[in-house]
Structure 1
Amino acid sequence: MAAAPKRVPLPAILLANDLLDGDVVFAVTDANGQLAWTRDPALALVASDDPAAESLEAFAAAELAGNRVVDAYLVDVAMETGQPVPRHFRERFKTLGPSNRPDLGKQAGDGISAGQRV
């Protein structure tokens, strides 16, 4: 019997890349209570227990199968000032945007407004 794949430590968020434009997107609960995607990492839905993480993994599988996103996976986060911040450099880097132009991308606030959804 094969062991189940190891899950990242909780709390965690789900991130992926939008299939059409390649931008990093984060799972969020929309106004109707359904899982959806946002480009704003501050709005990412945080899974604090196994059932919530399993729900995000099921959403990821459906979105991958529907060819809406690629490279969807859970990322362990720390809560800083009430917002989830990835613990690892690679994922933290993905939340910011181009590193060579701090005046562009998410770190400059380009294209992100509270509540913006994909």
Structure 2
Amino acid sequence: MKAITASRLRDGEVVFLGEGGVWVESFAEAALFQRSEADAVLADAKAKAEREQFGVDIYAFEVVEQDGVPVPATMRERIRTAGPTVRLDLGKQAA
């Protein structure tokens, strides 16, 4: 499976493509795509986000299942979903 992410231009927040093409802040709300369909969805989302000047660094990343829960496959994406690692009082981990 794959998910699609971007950095929102307005505030730099990491966002994920959710159901219906809506960008969401929580990885738990991210839409998951089969590898075979991810490239087409990514191309459409990227074109729209760039046209609307919504986000940058838009790409798809691998998602695996751990204990029945989808999680990013790489440490980089796990950090991006959780927030900064240097200050636990800021970002998504503070919520």
Provide TM-score, normalisation by structure 2. Answer: 0.86
Change (3 A) 1:79 1:60: farther
Q: Which entry has the higher C-alpha Rg, 1 or 2?
A: 1
Instruction: Figure out how many residues of one structure are paired with residues of the other and give that number.
Output: 95
Query: Separation in 2 of the partners of 1:81 and 1:39?
Result: 23
1:89 maps to which of 68, 75, 87: 75
**2:2·2:38 contact (CA, 8 Å) conserved in 1?**
no
- The runs of 5 or more residues in structure 1 that have no matched partner are 1-10, 110-118
Percent sequence identity over aligned pairs: 36
Contact (CA 8 Å) 1:27, 1:56: kept in 2 or not?
Answer: no
Task: Structure 2: give runs of 5+ residues left out of the alignment.
Answer: none
1:40 corresponds to 2:26:
yes
Give the alignment partner of residue 57 of structure 1, picking from 29, 38, 43: 43
Shift, 1:91, TM fit: 1.3
Measured in 2, the distance between the counterparts of 1:100 and 1:49 equals 33
RMSD: 1.7
Structure with greater proportional helix content: 2
Q: Secondary structure at the match of 1:98?
A: coil
Q: 2:17–2:31: 8 Å Cα contact kept in structure 1?
A: yes
The offset of 1:82, in angstroms, is 4.5
Could you say which residue in structure 1 is the equivalent of 2:13? 23
- 1:41–1:22: structure 2 CA closer, same or farther, 3 Å change rule? same
Superposed CA deviations along residues 1-42 of structure 1, whole A, max 9, x for unmatched, are xxxxxxxxxx1000001110000000001xxxx211010111
Q: CA deviation at 1:53?
A: 4.2
